[in-house]
Structure 1
């Protein structure tokens, strides 16, 4: 058998695999290249970067060019291999004594060629080039920019034909080919953060901060505020001495001033301005240390409120419900804590102890204002958080009445043994909660 034609055929197959590798490598390199670096090079006048920028202005066209090139090379490679190697392989099978029908031998030869060609094409024409392109994206993309640009121009008519055909078929299914589906960039970044945390390249605190940024615009003022029951106010009918005593004892920076009720706010007192006054008579305080209150609805988004506070330089607001009553107060520090965590220098409101504090593996100290869904999640029990918003609301709902201040009722419900520790101003301040025996057995089971 003359081996000269076989050598040329093998060389031709290597050329086809090489072309496949070029297209595959170019695709990954261009897609993986840093967009900011590419823009910087293009701005500096780098011709290679300018060519790539022009290609990426129509990413669908670029990807179509690559796909057409790879498909064309693979079809030619398969056709040449089947046409030129099939008969020789059949002859070789017969010579080694494989005694099966000729049709089966022909099928076996085609299958063998397909398997071998697929192996070498995937290995040498796809996997290795793409791996190299991921490692050296910038160098390869810039180095191949001229070749890619020329090929894209050559394939322009073919790409146009495929684009027209694709758009026509999409319209038959009622799909607008020019509509752009919104990319879920946020979800992609969250996935990158998870991977980075697993690899140790992103610290847990860094991940938490970025996660908080994404959740910031989904959070309302009502979710962040300090509830009205936790707010220290100054009453208009109190004496100057009572105001001074309240300010000195509580040591907050801002105080709402109320007239007849907490809903009737006539202004807010700035403690710094107050302490600067030598004459602390009521008239002097009202004139020099009290400013009009800023009111915001419970539903205002945290990011909107943050921008408004920055713009107005007003770092304190009264949160009101839909009826105009005070729901609570919110400060710039509250908003910052949503992003970066607790700030130790927050003097505008009391230090917040944990709403749900574990005592041991089956016992917790829970504040009355703790959201009921968080209680259910942390304790691992089913609670009716559709009916009650807070843990205190659940306890009063079970009791069917509001206990008097100082009382410490005990109750068992929903698999929990609840021992009330403190009730003040008709509000549940705190309770100690443990799982009932039945609930513990179920959890162990």
Structure 2
């Protein structure tokens, strides 16, 4: 039997040291990949704004995730394969043919524990800190491996194209909005985020994707003033109304010619009745259009975000919504848009209003047909689809492909819908419960 002592020579120790060094490099590449991909770009931006150069570098190299991951994986595979080859040669020298299996077992355990699980666990636990520390070293690695990674990317795209898969190198794995929405939903499901907080943030994020048509007050519910009515009648109507601003029409309710503000009307009436030139004749000659504001019309396809900015720019809170033919569709106010963020806003005039949603003793929900699907989902935490219709009544009509009769029952999207009240062609009251 050969004496094993000569096996432990300088070459042995040099190979063993090389394997240890390669395992350290493998751990560095594995941890760097996890840290740079798991780090929040928002937190990295906050660090960079405070002067952290490592965070600034991390932000730059994570702009192209495909190149980053390709370079790190290339480096990681190179050191892992080289370490496995050296270990096989070393164990074969000591144990002969059985050294191959032993080297595979030992290297698998070493790589799994010290080059994968350990560094990745640390990187996930301290993602932003780790990303800031390794970014400066990873950046030159990306530059060195960039030509190889580019060639590999081109080859991969060609192979995927053969299977009909198209890749967009400029696309992000997740859009910012989807990432925020997903984090909020996860936080809510784990009890870390309150439902009200989740709804407010998601409502603000949705403003750019929703149109005024979805939340406007339909024209059938608009309270209007006839421009030809007597001043006393106009004054009485404005005082009895729960609204501060009322549209004024001429001859036809579709022909909106102005908007009267209650304060402007009261000031004008006060001057006519108590001013220095007050007289009954002037009061009879009063025309509401003389103190009315010019109507402001907006297309029904305007996004809520754009409309809110326009309200703020124009210093007005009231707009009339028209379709592509110029026909009146409804009206929208700044309060309507704010309610999409903070929820229903009520004042002393709204307290006695009938609520559009009420839970019955049997567990059903009694819902106003004009209630929007989005509002119902927010109130009940349901997920009824709102792609094909804006209101609950519209959803039922869309699914039924007809105008249901009173008493009809439908089941779709995991819910039971019963029509309990109908006026003409409008579904005004529904009873809903999850199946």
Cα distance in 1, alignment partners of residues 47 and 420 from structure 2: 68
Contact 2:367–2:432 (CA<8 Å) still a contact in 1? no
| CA contact 1:263–1:324 (8 Å) conserved in 2 | no
Question: Shift of residue 419 of structure 1?
Answer: 5.0
Q: Which of 60, 66, 72 is residue 66 of structure 1 equivalent to?
A: 72
TM-score (norm 2): 0.74
**Cα pair distance change 1:283/1:70, threshold 3 Å:** farther
The residue aligned with 1:305 is: 307
Is contact 1:220–1:302 with CA below 8 Å preserved after alignment? yes
The equivalent position to 1:263 in structure 2, one of 244, 254, 260, is: 254
Q: Does 1:189 align with 2:159?
A: no
Distance 1:138 1:373 in 2: 36
**SS of residue in 1 equivalent to 2:271:** coil
Query: Which ranges in structure 2 are unaligned for 5 or more consecutive residues?
Result: 273-282, 411-416
Q: Kindly tell me: are residues 310 and 67 of structure 1, through their superposed partners in 2, closer, same or farther at Cα, counting changes over 3 Å?
A: same
Instruction: Provide the residue aligned with 2:122 in structure 1.
Output: 132
Aligned Cα RMSD in Å? 4.3
Q: Helix, strand or coil for the counterpart of 2:332?
A: strand
| Distance verdict in 2 for CA 1:373–1:214, change over 3 Å | closer
Question: Could you say what secondary structure the match of 1:262 adopts?
Answer: strand
Higher CA-based Rg: 1
Offset at residue 317 of structure 1 (A): 1.0
Deviations 1:376-426 (A, max 9, x none): 9x9999xxx99x7377999x9456xxxxxxxxxxx5333677554x96xx6
TM-score by length of 1: 0.73
For 2:71 and 2:365, the matched residues in 1 are separated by 63
Deviates more, 1:254-263 or 1:367-376: 367-376
**Alignment of structure 1 residues 25-424 onto 2, 5 Å:** 25-33=31-39, 35=41, 48=54, 55=61, 60-86=66-92, 88-89=94-95, 106=98, 110-144=100-134, 147-149=137-139, 151-152=141-142, 156=144, 158-167=145-154, 170=157, 173=161, 179-181=169-171, 183-185=173-175, 186-277=177-268, 278-279=270-271, 281=283, 286=288, 289-345=291-347, 353-361=354-362, 364-370=365-371, 389=394, 397-398=403-404, 411-414=406-409, 420=421
Q: Which structure 1 segments of 5+ residues have no match? A: 92-105, 400-410
Aligned to 1:96: none
Residues 14/42 of structure 1: CA separation in 2 closer, same or farther (3 Å cut): same
Q: Quick check: 1:22 aligned with 2:28?
A: yes
User: How many angstroms does 1:200 deviate by?
Assistant: 3.4
Q: How far apart, CA to CA, are the structure 2 residues paired with 1:346 and 1:147? A: 63
Query: Residues 332, 89 of structure 1: CA spacing in aligned structure 2 closer, same or farther, 3 A cutoff?
Result: same
Contact 1:368 1:427 in 2 (8 A): no
Deviation at 1:123, TM superposition (A): 1.2
Report how many residues are paired.
Answer: 398
